[in-house]
Structure 1
């Protein structure tokens, strides 16, 4: 039996360029890369040297704060470069793949009868643990802490996000194995959310509490669902996992082999034939970007969706947690008196000279232009209209800016992640970097309170 959740506050951003439900195999990447920026808060310590030969699934580095937490290679090959920045900080690792892939094998055990400690040790050793993230702080989960619950969202509402129902077809065994294993790591429940009209394979999984969610974005964000199902209080911890990461965890448990394969949605108005591609974590974006073709030269490639993704180059690499790559026009041109005339081709949460509210189902071709400049916060009351959490967004952002730890705690910073403020950032007329402000606030809170 499912429990329904209906979200009323929010805003759907309908864009041109949704992926057709067809899947092609991406061209093999010449080089694979792990971006250390994907593992926020992790201080890496290398286990192999530059020039070393490594197998797929073999550990490359570990977390300095927890030596049992290993990070593995997505492919077998030669570690050709360790890119370093200031103070010799490791920025990325580049791997030249072998023609014949060799995979490190782990002993297989029965998930049903396995103990909590053995499952935890296997996930840490096999490199699957980084897929499990925690709140508060939105970082990789601490294996020494027991979460009160685990949350999985298979309902996608972000603009042009990959359709979970489609990419998870035929993965029932892997999903069930991962769910069974994770359920043993918490004394609480494993909460699984799907769309209210979804026919997802996830709906038939056992060992979960099913929730059917409806409403505009950000209804699909796991933070919104946590807030409506079991909010986080001070001293509590919950874990989150994405469905595609569950597949990798489940396959590793069943086969003993780490398989970094992903189904990626290549989307956006600048893509001629947006569709899905099968590739691997760390692959070059160009291996599937030009297979679908692009409409123009001046484009922005985004690793992720348009609200939470990061800027990438066409020869950049797929992020560790990403299953969407968005390509839209670069917004480096400006309209003369664009602020002082009726606007019909853009989305707005207000009705001041804008008319998107009259056509809620219209799809738009937007670029990266911010349509304004950075300025001091203007109090408009618009944030609250699209922010469904029981939190005051403006007050929390200001508390983070002034580094008031007491206010940050009282206003609910433990409960949020930067992505929860992506929509308020989109509609912000002050052009404030909401996600960056929340990230810095979380980092400060973790440093001072932990």
Structure 2
């Protein structure tokens, strides 16, 4: 039995360049790069030294603040470079991959007889624990705490996001193993969301509470799911796991191998042939984008993740640890003469003042990264509330973060939000304020002061 969740507030941004539902094997990457910055709040302590050899699943580093949380290598090979930043900060670990991959054997786990401690120990030892995140603070979950529930969103509503119904096909056994194991880690329920009209492999899983969601983006965000089902109050903890990470967790439990394979969507209007690729976490992005993908030297922005909450990477960069889409759209560093004072037909807007996207809601747009205006003080227009479905006041919580009022942040519901929940409000913001950055800084302050 499922529970329907219908979202009315939000905004679907339809962009050109959706990936065709065909999967190809990406060019095998010679190098794999793991960046500690992908794991927010983690201070890495190196285990693998420069020049040492590692197996796929072998520990590269652990969290200095909590040494049981380990981070594994996606490939076997030789650590060729430790990239350091200011004050010898570890920015990246670069591994030259072996031609023939070897995997560390963690041993399969019998889920019928395994207890919560055994499941937790297996995930921690193998490096799969970083796939489990927590609210509050949107950081890697603390294994010492017990969540009141676990939330998984199997519906991707963001612009040009990878279709999870497609990428998870044929992985039912791994998905079932993962959710069975996760259900042992909470006394509450495992809540799983799928699209109302989807044909998701997740819909047939047992041991979960299934929810069918519909409505505009951000209906697919796990934060929306939490807010509508079981909001997080002070002193409570919930865990979240991305649907594509369930496959890696499930394969580890069934086979004992840490297999960091991803089905990644290459999408965007600058891509000549948008499609899906099989690749590995940390692989060179060039192995995806230059094989019938994007013209070399083009004036485009490469984003690891979706256009609303992903991060910019360079053409010689690497796929980050959590993304399953690489989006490429035109760079918007040009300016339009009288762009603010003429009818606009080729852009998306929630306003009806000289904009006409509301007349054709199914039209696909070729948008660039131009913000169409400069940073300025907050202008109260009521636009945030139109696209923000959470039962929270978005403008007030943003301002509370900016002037660092912890009591007000608590009262307004800061415990259950993450930066991605404010991606749409940032998109429609006429003041061009960096909402996601403001929320991230507010969460970091709360984590430091309140814990």
- 1:87 aligned to 2:76? no
- 1:44 aligned to 2:70? no
Distance between the aligned counterparts of 2:344 and 2:109, measured in 1?
60
Match of 1:145? 145
Displacement of 1:101 in angstroms is 1.0
Aligned length: 450
**Contact 1:84–1:92 (Cα < 8 Å) also in 2:** yes
**Contact 1:274–1:292 (Cα < 8 Å) also in 2:** no
Match of 1:355? 356
Q: The residue matched to 1:61 in structure 2 has which SS?
A: strand
Distance between the aligned counterparts of 2:6 and 2:244, measured in 1?
24
Match of 2:316? 315
Q: The residue matched to 2:21 in structure 1 has which SS?
A: strand
State TM-score, norm by structure 2. 0.99
Match of 2:34? 34
Displacement of 1:119 in angstroms is 0.5
Distance between the aligned counterparts of 1:207 and 1:397, measured in 2?
37
**Contact 1:106–1:256 (Cα < 8 Å) also in 2:** yes
Match of 2:215? 215
1:50-199 alignment, distance < 5 Å:
50-199=50-199
Q: The residue matched to 2:291 in structure 1 has which SS?
A: helix
Displacement of 1:87 in angstroms is 1.5
User: Gaps (5+ residues) in structure 1?
Assistant: none
**Contact 2:3–2:210 (Cα < 8 Å) also in 1:** yes
State TM-score, norm by structure 1. 0.99
Distance between the aligned counterparts of 1:430 and 1:112, measured in 2?
54
Distance between the aligned counterparts of 2:424 and 2:109, measured in 1?
43
Instruction: Describe the superposition over 1:187-217 as per-residue Cα deviations: whole angstroms up to 9, x where unpaired.
Output: 0000000000011111110000000000000
**Contact 2:149–2:188 (Cα < 8 Å) also in 1:** yes
Q: The residue matched to 1:202 in structure 2 has which SS?
A: helix
Displacement of 1:85 in angstroms is 1.1
Displacement of 1:293 in angstroms is 2.3
Q: The residue matched to 1:259 in structure 2 has which SS?
A: coil
Instruction: Describe the superposition over 1:147-188 as per-residue Cα deviations: whole angstroms up to 9, x where unpaired.
Output: 000000011110000000000000000000000000000000
- 1:345 aligned to 2:346? yes
Q: The residue matched to 1:45 in structure 2 has which SS?
A: strand
**Contact 1:23–1:276 (Cα < 8 Å) also in 2:** yes
Displacement of 1:315 in angstroms is 1.3
Distance between the aligned counterparts of 1:383 and 1:44, measured in 2?
37
**Contact 2:107–2:257 (Cα < 8 Å) also in 1:** no
**Contact 2:401–2:438 (Cα < 8 Å) also in 1:** yes
Q: The residue matched to 2:333 in structure 1 has which SS?
A: coil
Distance between the aligned counterparts of 1:341 and 1:402, measured in 2?
36
Distance between the aligned counterparts of 2:382 and 2:80, measured in 1?
52
Distance between the aligned counterparts of 1:259 and 1:356, measured in 2?
44
Displacement of 1:291 in angstroms is 1.5
**Contact 2:300–2:331 (Cα < 8 Å) also in 1:** yes
